[in-house]
Amino acid sequence: MTASTDFTDLTSPFRGELLAHCYRMLGSVDEAEDLVQETYLRAWRSFGGFEGRSSVRTWLYRIATNACLTALERRGRRPMPSGLAGPAADPDIALVPAPEVPWLQPMPDALLAGTAGTAGAGEDPASAVAARAGIRLALVAAQQHLPARQRAMLILRDVLGWPAAEVAGLLGTTTTAVNSGLRRARAQLARALPAEEDTAEPNDPGQRAALDRFAAAFENADADALAELLRKDAVLEMPPLPEWFAGRDAVRSFFAAQVLTEPGMFRLVPTAANGQPAFAAYQRDAGGVYRAHAVLVLALSRTGIARVDIFLEPALLGRFGLPEVTPAS
């Protein structure tokens, strides 16, 4: 067996979870894929010196984390609109994209199929829920506000389950510093994230019915029916638009004024992103052809849809394995 075969056999099973790790660190699918490629290149170059003092998985995570930290020295964080300014109040506000902002991107679930999101995760339902929780959009968005090393501490400890001493060794610091940084990171995230017990799983029959109703309301341009599915404190964000809306009434008014103005204008195709239900949105052009328009990611709660994040980037649909156009019929 050649060294190349040995390397491939030992390292290839971890590619999907390394992609998830780099995405959590960077908030970008494109950059995460580049960093995974760099991780494997660095690992191949140093494979001859790998003595098995740690597991292959731990070795690869060390390389990937250091590559991400180096990349983050040259790049700013990737925010969502709510991380930059307060919500808009006027539903008729002029919408001006801000393409200069490196916005957070959604992660297609298909890229992570069959991979573990947490240390020791298997295929059992509890592990699947934990894996989805570790990649949820709100969590990744909140992590973007943490300093890079603190972000690494949080992900390595709370998502991957590494011991504090091992995290300290990777980051070249002390266990005390890791525990202190972790406390600060957890406190900041606790202020930004919803309570876990309020999060609903998309495979619940009642939630699946709500998703069907959401798609029907969107396609039928029925802003009132859509609003009935939202929580009172629901949030709508639409990068690269910096404007965002908070509260069921504000979201309904905006949809009615500027989005859901004509039945049949949109067609929604179910998909999944960040362990959450999502839709690919196709918009009808003047010739009746439905063209790629956006990706909608929904955050479900037990009391209604808590968030609607609409990523107005048609090219994203290719990441989800979906075509640029869909038939009119």
Q: Are residues 217 and 280 in the same domain?
A: yes
Residue 307 inside a domain? The answer is yes
Q: Which of 197, 217, 237 is the last residue of a domain?
A: 197
- Residues of the domain holding 282: 200-326
Residue 82 inside a domain? The answer is no
- Indicate the number of domains in the chain: 2
CA geometry: angle 170, 176, 182, nearest 5 deg: 75
Contact 237, 81 (CB under 8 A): yes
Q: Are residues 170 and 302 in the same domain?
A: no
Question: What's the pLDDT at 116?
Answer: 47
**How many residues in the chain?**
329
pTM of the model: 0.88
Instruction: Give the domain CATH number at 122.
Output: 1.20.140.160
Q: Are residues 13 and 159 in the same domain?
A: yes
- CB hemisphere CA count around 69 (13 angstroms): 18
Question: What's the pLDDT at 77?
Answer: 86
Question: What's the pLDDT at 48?
Answer: 78
Q: Which residues of the chain, if any, have pLDDT below 70?
A: 1-3, 51-53, 113-133, 194-203, 327-329
Q: Are residues 296 and 165 in the same domain?
A: no
- Which two structure tokens, joined as six digits, stand for 30? 């494109």
Nearest to 109 by CA among 289, 326, 278, 245: 278
Tell me the C-alpha distance between 51 and 48, whole Å: 8
Residue-wise pLDDT tens digits, 103-125: 999 999 999 765 544 344 444 54
Q: Are residues 19 and 38 in the same domain?
A: yes
Question: What's the pLDDT at 196?
Answer: 53
Question: What's the pLDDT at 198?
Answer: 62
Q: Which of 154, 177, 197 is the last residue of a domain?
A: 197
Q: Are residues 253 and 112 in the same domain?
A: no
Residue-wise pLDDT tens digits, 59-72: 999 999 999 999 99
Question: What's the pLDDT at 119?
Answer: 40
- CB hemisphere CA count around 2 (13 angstroms): 4
Question: What's the pLDDT at 121?
Answer: 41
Q: Helix/strand/coil (H, E, C) string of 161-172? A: CCCHHHHHHHHC
Q: Which of 164, 181, 197 is the last residue of a domain?
A: 197
Strand-pairing partners, residue 277, are 272
Question: What's the pLDDT at 231?
Answer: 96
Residue 88 inside a domain? The answer is no
